[in-house]
Every structure is written in C-alpha cells, then in structure tokens.
A and B are shown apart, each in its own frame.
Chain A
C-alpha cells in the first residue's frame, strides 16, 4: 500500500515553544491530508483537513491559530503546535489517500508530543 511518513515520532518541548510535525506521502501525491489527535485510551479525533495550495479546514472546537497547518506541496503537510501548553500533549497522526485507486487511507507513524 501507499506509504505515509510522519516526523518526528516523539518530541518533548517546553511550554510556550512551537513544534512542527511533518507528514509526507512518499510514493503518491496527496492533495488532501487529514490530521487527527488521539487522547490516551481514546479514539482518533479529526482536527483538520489539509488542502494543498489552500487553507486548511478545521473541525469545530479546534483553534486554527494554535494548530497551524500548511500544505505547500502535493507530498507534504505540516502541523505546527504554537505556544504549546501541557494540555497539548497528545498523540498526533496524519493520514492521506492515494486517489489513483485506493479507497482506504494510510496513516503516518504518529507523533507523541509531550509539553513540559
């Protein structure tokens, strides 16, 4: 199947700093990518839809100024957590779908963010 790579897999940062997470589609182009957040022992919550060349679409309750999404190319979307606080600590996962033929989405490895 298609490969989605997410980096870093784990990051620890200080409160007030910003962290950038990258999501790349390695062997296909993705005009749309999705960012999810997973709380401990909880399901995945869709945060936003990242659209190449245009603004991201955020789900209700997700602060767009806090979670900046940039989708500057057909293979890369980035999520920047700005002015991070401990409550932003979570597991963030991106996904994309190869529109050439697959109906399933493929996921990155996830990023464990810990804000101290």
Chain B
C-alpha cells in the first residue's frame, strides 16, 4: 500500500527566510509524487509533481521539491517565504498505473510571520 507522511503539523517561518515542509513516502515501485496547497474553505491547488527525470522539480509560486530516493523523501522548499504562502500543504502519492486516486499526507500548516 502507498502512503505518505508529513511529520510536522505546523511549520512557522519568518518572511524572507527559506522554508521547508517535509514529506516522506512509502510505495512499491516508482512513485508519482505531488504537492498541493489549500487555502481556507477552498479546494486544493496543484503546486508541483515528480514523475521521472531530474530530482529537483520546480513548481508554482516559486516552490520546488527534491525527490530523494534513498531517503524516500520529497520535501517542499522555497528560498524566501511570503506571508501569502501561509496555508495548508499536502503531499500526495499516486500509483502510476491507471487512473488512480491520490493518497494524501495529513497536511502541514505553514505560517509565515511578517
């Protein structure tokens, strides 16, 4: 079975500082990995994905993530946090075969303080 873990419920960072939101995964085979962001009472917005190729993937709003196979991690990063980045972030994994649903981590609330 596929699963993802987000070890931090909450991450606080000062505006302008780099941010990292952690994610580790457990899958059989090669994973499709995703990051989504959710603002209050809204659906999820796609940020970025890792399918294959370069381990460092760049996404929307200046976010990037690094796929690390040996550590089974896919941490989300941004060099300089903005107050508007404050939201709930979800890491997700999907079985590459077929049109399968996403399996989500529990989410990490990011708070960027001015």
Please report A residues at the B interface, Cβ cutoff 8 Å: 1, 4, 6, 9-10, 31-32, 34, 42-44, 46, 49, 91, 93, 95, 97, 99, 103-110, 112
Contact = CB atoms under 8 A, between A and B. Distances in A.
B102 interface: yes
Given A10-B41, A99-B99, 18 more contacts: A1-B46, A6-B43, A43-B107, A44-B90, A44-B102, A46-B102, A46-B103, A93-B43, A103-B32, A103-B49, A103-B94, A104-B34, A105-B34, A105-B102, A107-B36, A107-B44, A109-B42, A110-B41
Nearest to A44: B104
A27 B90 CA distance: 25
Contacts, number: 56
B83 interface: no
Nearest to A110: B43
Given A32-B99, A43-B107, A97-B99, A107 B34 contact: no
B44 A93 contact: yes
Contacts of A9: 41
B106 A42 contact: yes
